[in-house]
Amino acid sequence: PDFLWKGATTEGRVHLTFDDGPHPEWTPRILDMLGERGQKATFFCVGENVERHPAVFDRIRQEGHSWGNHTMRHESGWTASQFSYLRSYLQCEAITRSGLFRPPYGRMSRSQARAISERSLIVMWDVLTGDFDPRRSASDCLEASLRHLQMGSIAVLHDSEKAAPRTD
């Protein structure tokens, strides 16, 4: 199936996406930063985190950001069974009702992708910031990302405690 690897290039923009939230501390900080700059992003949310932090998820939507499904429990499609992965997708979709999906770790089987693409647009990326890697500094992540950004790029960041030192 077709995956979306780059966004629209007509407006000369980069598309910021955040995976793994909503997080009760880091997602609001990111929302504040985006709001100060008048920017919008897409948040690919883990269903369990949406259930734990519904007010943060509501804030994402109320402030005009986009959101997507990132499975219920952040499973890798390469290690989860077909049934459990698709069930996780469906559970998260029932909560988020987004029509957008990003596979955790970017990993899913072809049959999983075919099944999910019947209901959702699968959004990948062309710039992986590496903000999840504790061995990297914030400036390393920024410099590497800037080298690869192009008009329409979809950049992956994370609204999680693990990525926080490289997001602030």
Q: What string of DSSP letters covers 13-67?
A: --EEEEES---TTHHHHHHHHHHHHT---EEEE-HHHHHH-HHHHHHHHHTT-EE
Please give the structure tokens belonging to residue 64.
């005009």
Question: Which of 23, 131, 158, 159 is flagged as catalytic?
Answer: 158
pLDDT tens digits for 63-81?
999 999 999 999 999 999 9
Check if 158 is active-site. yes
**Bridge pairing between strands 15-19 and 121-123:** unpaired
Does 32 qualify as catalytic in the annotation?
Answer: no
* Cβ proximity of 22 and 70 under 8 Å: no
User: What pLDDT does residue 64 have?
Assistant: 97
Give the pLDDT score at 137. Answer: 84
- Residues 54 and 61: their CA atoms lie apart, in Å, by 11
Set 19, 20, 131, 159: catalytic member: 19
Supply the mean pLDDT for the chain.
92
N-to-C CA span, the chain: 36
Instruction: Give the residues of the chain that fall short of pLDDT 50.
Output: none
Residue type, 148: H
